[in-house]
Amino acid sequence: MFFSFSRGALLLAGLLCLGNAQAGIVLNTTRVIYQGQDKEVSFGVHNSGAGEILVQSWLEPYDPAVNTPQTGLSDLPFIVTPALAPLPGDGKQLLRVIYSGSGLPTERESVLWLNVQEIPRSAAENTLQIAIRQRIKLFFRPAGLRGDPLLAAQGLQWQLIGQDALEVFNPGPFHVSMLNIGVRQGSKALLSQDSRMLAPQQRWRVPLKPRSGSQPLELSFISINDFGGQETYHASLQGGESVQASKFESR
């Protein structure tokens, strides 16, 4: 009986400590666009808490399958400055990302993870200290790329493959980030995908649920633009022809 009570007390204490740990850093953007002709790009960090913290920032290669950040030095041709900075309560800091000028493809956009981590400067005795990390994408856009990144989503080529698959191809030099990708045939949902980002020249094929008859399929998705805004697109799919989606204009 005593053993059960001790476990419960420890669990309650841990939950209380976690409840007192609050994220203090707030970024002023949801993504960073680095234009290749610029010497640097900057973004702001705000400590919304009352206590002083350290802010650690670094870049790492983009890999959607890896959830654990690597805080060590990498061979990426960038520096983030300051990489480690003290930030008082309610304080603000401008962080700069600087590209060395070479090392990334010049014919297409590249994407990296930008990590910003809050490290408490001190903790009271017998309290839990947690380093809280925020992670956003940095898109490096070389100078001279053809096309308009704001039109990249409508340039995607969608096509039915046989009776049981959908394929999309991104022919442009820009990444396209999408949410709520869905395909319906009448009232029946054949596909529901939360999110997907297509790299330049990437093809993505996804299975569909069985469909019946020759009624066209209706495709819809939400594209995220450079400013974090969401734009809805629709297209009608039939046969094996490749189509492009059109932006839905609300009235």
Provide the domain limits for residue 239: 149-247
Tell me: do 103 and 175 sit in the same domain.
Answer: no
Positions of E strands within 8-109: 25-27, 31-35, 40-47, 53-61, 78-81, 84-87, 92-99
Query: What pLDDT is stored for residue 249 in this prediction?
Result: 77
Q: 182: domain CATH number? A: 2.60.40.10
Last residue of a domain, one of 101, 122, 141: 141
Low pLDDT (below 50) residues in the chain: 1-21, 72-73
Rounded CA-CA distance 113/59 in Å is 6
**In the prediction, which pLDDT does 24 show?**
81
pTM of the predicted protein model: 0.85
- At 140-151, the pLDDT tens digits run 999 999 999 999
| 122 and 188 housed in the same domain | no
* Residue 94 within any structural domain of the chain: yes
Same domain, 121 and 27: yes
Q: What is the pLDDT of residues 35-70, one digit of tens each?
A: 999 999 999 999 999 989 999 999 999 987 666 666
